[in-house]
Amino acid sequence: MATIFDGYWIVRTTNQIAKLQQVESEFMKYSLDIFALSETRCKGIGKETLDQGNMYIYSGRSYGVGREWIGMMMTSRTEKALIDWRAVNSRLLLPKFKSKQCNQSIIVCYTPTNDSPEERKDEYYEELLSVIDEIHVRDMKIVIGDFNAKVGRNNQGIENLMGIEGLDKFANENGAHFVSFCGKSCVIMEFLLNM
Protein backbone atom coordinates (compact mmCIF):
# COMPACT_ATOMS: atom_id res chain seq x y z
CA MET A 1 0.00 0.00 0.00
CA ALA A 2 1.33 3.43 -0.91
CA THR A 3 1.08 6.56 1.24
CA ILE A 4 -2.27 6.87 2.94
CA PHE A 5 -4.26 10.08 2.66
CA ASP A 6 -6.57 10.11 5.60
CA GLY A 7 -9.19 12.31 7.18
CA TYR A 8 -11.37 12.49 10.25
CA TRP A 9 -14.94 13.67 10.66
CA ILE A 10 -17.46 13.82 13.52
CA VAL A 11 -20.48 12.91 11.41
CA ARG A 12 -23.26 12.86 14.06
CA THR A 13 -24.87 9.89 12.25
CA THR A 14 -24.42 7.47 9.35
CA ASN A 15 -27.35 5.23 10.17
CA GLN A 16 -29.49 7.07 7.61
CA ILE A 17 -28.87 6.15 3.96
CA ALA A 18 -28.78 9.79 2.77
CA LYS A 19 -26.24 10.75 5.44
CA LEU A 20 -23.98 7.80 4.66
CA GLN A 21 -24.13 8.71 0.95
CA GLN A 22 -23.18 12.31 1.84
CA VAL A 23 -20.19 11.10 3.87
CA GLU A 24 -19.10 8.84 1.00
CA SER A 25 -19.39 11.76 -1.46
CA GLU A 26 -17.15 13.93 0.74
CA PHE A 27 -14.72 11.03 1.06
CA MET A 28 -14.53 10.74 -2.74
CA LYS A 29 -14.38 14.52 -3.26
CA TYR A 30 -11.15 14.79 -1.24
CA SER A 31 -9.58 11.65 -2.79
CA LEU A 32 -8.94 10.11 0.62
CA ASP A 33 -7.79 6.53 1.17
CA ILE A 34 -9.28 6.24 4.64
CA PHE A 35 -11.78 8.32 6.53
CA ALA A 36 -12.07 7.82 10.31
CA LEU A 37 -15.50 8.70 11.66
CA SER A 38 -17.04 9.25 15.07
CA GLU A 39 -20.61 9.60 16.30
CA THR A 40 -21.72 7.31 13.47
CA ARG A 41 -24.64 5.87 15.49
CA CYS A 42 -24.35 2.57 13.62
CA LYS A 43 -25.28 -0.05 16.17
CA GLY A 44 -23.26 -3.21 16.64
CA ILE A 45 -20.20 -4.26 14.67
CA GLY A 46 -20.28 -4.42 10.90
CA LYS A 47 -18.64 -4.20 7.51
CA GLU A 48 -20.43 -3.18 4.33
CA THR A 49 -19.69 -2.19 0.76
CA LEU A 50 -21.15 1.23 -0.10
CA ASP A 51 -22.82 2.49 -3.29
CA GLN A 52 -19.58 3.70 -4.91
CA GLY A 53 -17.63 0.56 -4.01
CA ASN A 54 -15.95 1.88 -0.85
CA MET A 55 -15.77 -0.24 2.29
CA TYR A 56 -17.22 0.87 5.62
CA ILE A 57 -16.39 -0.79 8.95
CA TYR A 58 -17.93 0.30 12.22
CA SER A 59 -18.21 -0.48 15.90
CA GLY A 60 -20.79 0.63 18.40
CA ARG A 61 -22.99 -0.43 21.23
CA SER A 62 -25.86 -2.63 20.13
CA TYR A 63 -28.28 -0.86 22.47
CA GLY A 64 -29.38 2.60 23.59
CA VAL A 65 -28.62 6.04 22.26
CA GLY A 66 -25.45 8.07 22.45
CA ARG A 67 -22.48 9.26 20.46
CA GLU A 68 -19.88 6.59 21.13
CA TRP A 69 -20.08 4.75 17.83
CA ILE A 70 -17.09 4.93 15.48
CA GLY A 71 -16.17 3.74 12.00
CA MET A 72 -13.80 3.93 9.07
CA MET A 73 -14.44 4.32 5.37
CA MET A 74 -11.80 3.14 2.89
CA THR A 75 -11.41 2.84 -0.86
CA SER A 76 -11.60 -0.58 -2.50
CA ARG A 77 -7.86 -0.25 -3.24
CA THR A 78 -7.13 0.39 0.44
CA GLU A 79 -9.43 -2.48 1.41
CA LYS A 80 -7.16 -4.84 -0.55
CA ALA A 81 -4.36 -3.90 1.85
CA LEU A 82 -6.57 -4.52 4.91
CA ILE A 83 -5.08 -7.48 6.79
CA ASP A 84 -7.55 -7.53 9.63
CA TRP A 85 -9.65 -5.28 11.82
CA ARG A 86 -11.01 -5.49 15.32
CA ALA A 87 -13.76 -3.61 17.07
CA VAL A 88 -12.21 -3.14 20.52
CA ASN A 89 -15.35 -1.43 21.84
CA SER A 90 -17.70 1.41 20.90
CA ARG A 91 -14.84 3.94 21.24
CA LEU A 92 -11.85 2.08 19.74
CA LEU A 93 -11.48 0.46 16.32
CA LEU A 94 -8.25 -1.19 15.16
CA PRO A 95 -7.75 -1.87 11.42
CA LYS A 96 -4.37 -3.17 10.25
CA PHE A 97 -3.03 -2.60 6.72
CA LYS A 98 -0.24 -4.22 4.71
CA SER A 99 2.42 -1.81 3.46
CA LYS A 100 5.74 -2.11 1.63
CA GLN A 101 7.94 -0.96 4.52
CA CYS A 102 5.89 -2.18 7.49
CA ASN A 103 2.31 -2.92 8.42
CA GLN A 104 0.24 0.05 9.57
CA SER A 105 -2.06 -0.27 12.56
CA ILE A 106 -4.50 2.60 12.82
CA ILE A 107 -6.37 3.15 16.05
CA VAL A 108 -9.60 5.07 15.48
CA CYS A 109 -10.70 6.54 18.79
CA TYR A 110 -13.38 8.66 20.34
CA THR A 111 -12.55 9.83 23.87
CA PRO A 112 -15.26 10.38 26.50
CA THR A 113 -16.22 14.04 26.83
CA ASN A 114 -14.72 16.33 29.45
CA ASP A 115 -17.82 16.06 31.67
CA SER A 116 -17.67 12.23 31.79
CA PRO A 117 -16.76 10.63 35.13
CA GLU A 118 -13.00 10.41 35.78
CA GLU A 119 -13.17 6.63 36.19
CA ARG A 120 -14.64 6.29 32.72
CA LYS A 121 -11.87 8.43 31.21
CA ASP A 122 -9.19 6.51 33.12
CA GLU A 123 -10.60 3.18 31.88
CA TYR A 124 -10.67 4.51 28.31
CA TYR A 125 -7.02 5.61 28.36
CA GLU A 126 -5.94 2.33 29.99
CA GLU A 127 -7.71 0.46 27.19
CA LEU A 128 -6.11 2.70 24.54
CA LEU A 129 -2.63 2.16 25.97
CA SER A 130 -3.35 -1.59 26.13
CA VAL A 131 -4.33 -1.60 22.44
CA ILE A 132 -1.15 0.28 21.51
CA ASP A 133 0.89 -2.16 23.59
CA GLU A 134 -0.54 -5.19 21.77
CA ILE A 135 0.39 -3.89 18.30
CA HIS A 136 3.43 -5.60 16.82
CA VAL A 137 6.68 -3.76 17.55
CA ARG A 138 7.47 -3.31 13.83
CA ASP A 139 4.05 -1.94 12.88
CA MET A 140 3.62 1.77 12.26
CA LYS A 141 1.11 3.00 14.83
CA ILE A 142 -1.29 5.78 13.88
CA VAL A 143 -3.80 7.10 16.43
CA ILE A 144 -6.56 9.18 14.86
CA GLY A 145 -9.78 10.48 16.30
CA ASP A 146 -11.50 12.94 18.58
CA PHE A 147 -9.80 13.27 21.96
CA ASN A 148 -12.31 15.89 23.18
CA ALA A 149 -9.34 17.78 24.60
CA LYS A 150 -7.98 21.29 24.84
CA VAL A 151 -4.26 21.23 25.55
CA GLY A 152 -3.85 24.99 25.83
CA ARG A 153 -0.63 26.88 25.14
CA ASN A 154 1.27 26.21 28.34
CA ASN A 155 3.85 23.56 27.49
CA GLN A 156 6.20 24.17 30.41
CA GLY A 157 7.88 20.87 31.29
CA ILE A 158 6.35 19.04 28.31
CA GLU A 159 8.07 20.84 25.43
CA ASN A 160 8.98 17.46 23.92
CA LEU A 161 5.27 16.57 23.64
CA MET A 162 3.65 19.76 22.38
CA GLY A 163 4.23 23.24 21.05
CA ILE A 164 2.54 26.48 22.12
CA GLU A 165 -0.06 26.72 19.38
CA GLY A 166 -3.03 25.27 21.29
CA LEU A 167 -6.33 27.07 21.76
CA ASP A 168 -6.93 28.82 25.06
CA LYS A 169 -4.26 29.46 27.64
CA PHE A 170 -4.83 26.37 29.78
CA ALA A 171 -5.74 22.75 29.19
CA ASN A 172 -9.06 21.28 30.27
CA GLU A 173 -9.21 17.98 32.20
CA ASN A 174 -9.27 15.96 28.96
CA GLY A 175 -6.30 17.99 27.73
CA ALA A 176 -4.33 16.91 30.78
CA HIS A 177 -5.37 13.28 30.16
CA PHE A 178 -4.33 13.59 26.52
CA VAL A 179 -0.91 15.07 27.32
CA SER A 180 -0.36 12.33 29.91
CA PHE A 181 -1.33 9.72 27.30
CA CYS A 182 1.12 11.23 24.80
CA GLY A 183 3.88 11.05 27.41
CA LYS A 184 3.08 7.41 28.23
CA SER A 185 2.75 6.35 24.59
CA CYS A 186 6.05 8.10 23.76
CA VAL A 187 7.71 6.14 26.56
CA ILE A 188 6.23 2.93 25.12
CA MET A 189 7.43 3.85 21.64
CA GLU A 190 10.88 4.77 22.94
CA PHE A 191 11.07 1.49 24.82
CA LEU A 192 10.08 -0.47 21.74
CA LEU A 193 12.61 1.36 19.57
CA ASN A 194 15.40 0.63 22.06
CA MET A 195 14.74 -3.14 22.15
Query: What's the pLDDT score for residue 47?
Result: 94
3-state SS of the chain is CCCCCEEEEECCCCCCHHHHHHHHHHHHHCCCCEEEEECCCCCCEEEEECCCCCEEEEECCCCCCCCCCEEEEECHHHHHCEEEEEEEECCEEEEEECCCCCCEEEEEEECCCCCCCHHHHHHHHHHHHHHHHHCCCCCEEEEEEECCCCCCCCCCCCCCCCCCCCCCCCCCHHHHHHHHHHHHHHHHHHHHHCC
**CA-only gyration radius of the chain, Å:** 17
pLDDT along the chain (195 residues), means of 10: 57 64 88 87 87 92 71 93 95 94 92 92 94 92 88 84 78 86 67 41
CA distance 60 to 72: 12
Cβ pair 26, 52 in contact under 8 A: no
Query: What's the pLDDT score for residue 86?
Result: 96
With 0.85 as the threshold, say if the pTM is over it: no
CA-based torsion, 59, 11, 9, 169: positive or negative: negative
Q: Which domains does the chain have, with CATH numbers?
A: 6-148 (3.60.10.10)
Query: What's the pLDDT score for residue 115?
Result: 92
Query: What's the pLDDT score for residue 178?
Result: 87
69: nearest Cα among 55, 57, 81: 57
Query: What's the pLDDT score for residue 146?
Result: 87
Query: What's the pLDDT score for residue 191?
Result: 43
